[in-house]
Each structure stands twice: as structure tokens, then as C-alpha cells.
Amino acid sequence: MEKKIAPSLMAAALLTLPMVVNAQTENPRGIYKMITLTGKQGEIKAPFDQYKICTDSVTLMLSTQKAAFQITDTDHKVFEYTGDQPKDENDKSTLIYDSNADHFTMKWWSTNRGHLYFPDNDWCIEKYEANQYSETAQLAFEALNAVPTFDKNNPLLGTWRILGDVDELRDVKKFLPKMHENYETSKYFNSFYVFTPKSFALVLLGRGGVANPVEYDGKKSYKLNNKIINNVRWLTKDRIAVEEKIDYRIDWKILERVTDGESMMCRFARQYVNKF
């Protein structure tokens, strides 16, 4: 089921998009969903729930499967209008055409062998439209575009960096300096919990999962998809411990509030911009 998305989700803080007229020769700028793919089986409905996030600085791709999502810099280039014809028969550069704020077409040379949809050594054509989202993608973009803020009525809302785990809460003070010191080399580097009013996302190095609905019991706990209640202990205003039941024991995941005002989308884009 496709859903229209709120206009605010169309622009993460990074996406300072120019005003676009209705011509078909504009650079695509915004978030677009793949609608059809033309390849081995002719033109078919898009076999993947896939999105292109087109900005002046970077093009990112977000794909979803069930409740999971992944965001990558698959294209390694900023999408700009090229027209629909290669320069010559040896030119296999990706083509972007029939493009404006509402839609665009992408034509790329496929060297895939034995792929179910992509042709072997031939052009593959993907058509994209703006303002079309699956339920999972809508939740993912809401979480990725959320700007961390403090809400005194529900202080769990916002983005939280995962620092590490402890067996006993009484050991937190002892282990906290080491968690900060080793953070950039730990398995939790660039791993976050994102709480929004209606959903929750776990984001691990460009991969994540979203849950909806999420219920909050004030500061005490939260419950995902009407299942397990996750108890919360507040260590400070900006640091919490989330209870994790593993077999017959209880561990605690230590989270620290992100206060830099940067959305996850901006965070990912900034990582990829310098790769061009």
C-alpha cells in the first residue's frame, strides 16, 4: 500500500533544494520511489521497495524489506540531467532524463550476469516518482529526518547514541570513561536509537529497523509493537540505561542523548559527501 508522506519529510536539514519549475529537464532533487523497472522481463512494477535521495551534494539510496531498511551511496555521484542518449556507442555512463521535482528516469548499463531482473550487458531503465512511500519507508524517513530535540513532556523522544553494555547498573560509573574512550573503535560506533512520537528506529551503520507503534510510559519504559516492555533507568537527564533480558539474566544498554541538532539523514550524507 502506497502512502502520501507529510511535506516535512521531503526535506531533511541537509536537503536545501532549489525551487524547481515543471520542465522535464531539471536535475532531480528530493526523495523518489522506484515505480517501474525495464530489464530482462520488459517493463514491470518495481520489484524492490527502493528510493533515491537526490541532493546537490550526494545521492543516497534507501531500500526496505519488511521492517528493515538500508541506506547506501550506491550511485557514487550527484544526479544531474543528462538527456536520454549516450555520447557514443562506447559511453556507458548513467543517464538521467525526463526529470523534475515530480519524477525522473534513470538508465544505467548493467553488467550483471544471471540476475532475475537486470539484463546482461544491456541498458536497464528505472522510473521514479516523488511522494510515494511504503509504510516501512515512511517510518524510516520519519526517523532519519527527525532532528534531535528535548521534549520535557516525553524525555525519551529524540536520538540516543549507544555507548555500550553493563551487567550491573552499579558498575556504570566505573565503565563510563572507558566507553567514551573506546567509542570510535567499539561495535556500537555510529549506532543509535531514534524515538519519535509514533515510532522507534534502531540504526546501525547505515542499516536499521523500524517499529510502529511505540508506547511510552512516561520516563519509566517503552513498548514496541505491543510486545516486550523495555524498562528505563535514568542516570542523568541525557544518559539512560535500557533493560535487556537475555535468557535468565538482565543486562543494561547505556545510551547517551545526541544534542547536536543533526538528523540521521544529515549524518549519513555528511559521511558520503567527501567520497566523490
The C-alpha cell of 23 is what?
A: 520542465
What pLDDT is attached to residue 125? 98
Among the residue ranges 51-55, 101-105, 237-241, 243-247, the one predicted with the least confidence is 243-247
Residue 26 to residue 43: CA distance in whole angstroms: 24
Which three three-digit cell numbers place residue 272? 558520503
pLDDT at 6: 43
Q: What is the pLDDT of residue 274?
A: 59
pTM: 0.86
Confidence of residue 225 (pLDDT cuts 50, 70, 90): confident
> Distance (Å, rounded) from C-alpha 15 to C-alpha 51?
15
Question: How far apart are the C-alpha atoms of 92 and 50, rounded to whole Å?
Answer: 23
pLDDT tens per residue across span 156-165: 999 999 999 9
Cα(196)–Cα(117) distance, integer angstroms: 36
What's the distance, Cα to Cα, between the start and end of the chain in Å?
Answer: 36
Reduced to 3 states, what is the DSSP secondary structure of residue 177? Answer: helix
- What is the predicted pLDDT for the residue at 275? 58
pLDDT at 2 over 50: no
Question: What gap in Å lies between CA 185 and CA 180, rounded to an integer?
Answer: 10
247 vs 115, higher pLDDT: 115
pLDDT of residue 82: 97
Model confidence over 143-176: pLDDT tens digits? 999 888 888 889 999 999 999 999 999 889 999 9
Closest CA to 52 of 21, 79, 84: 79
Residue 222: φ, ψ to 5°: -140, 155
Reported as a pLDDT band with limits 50, 70 and 90, residue 19 is very low
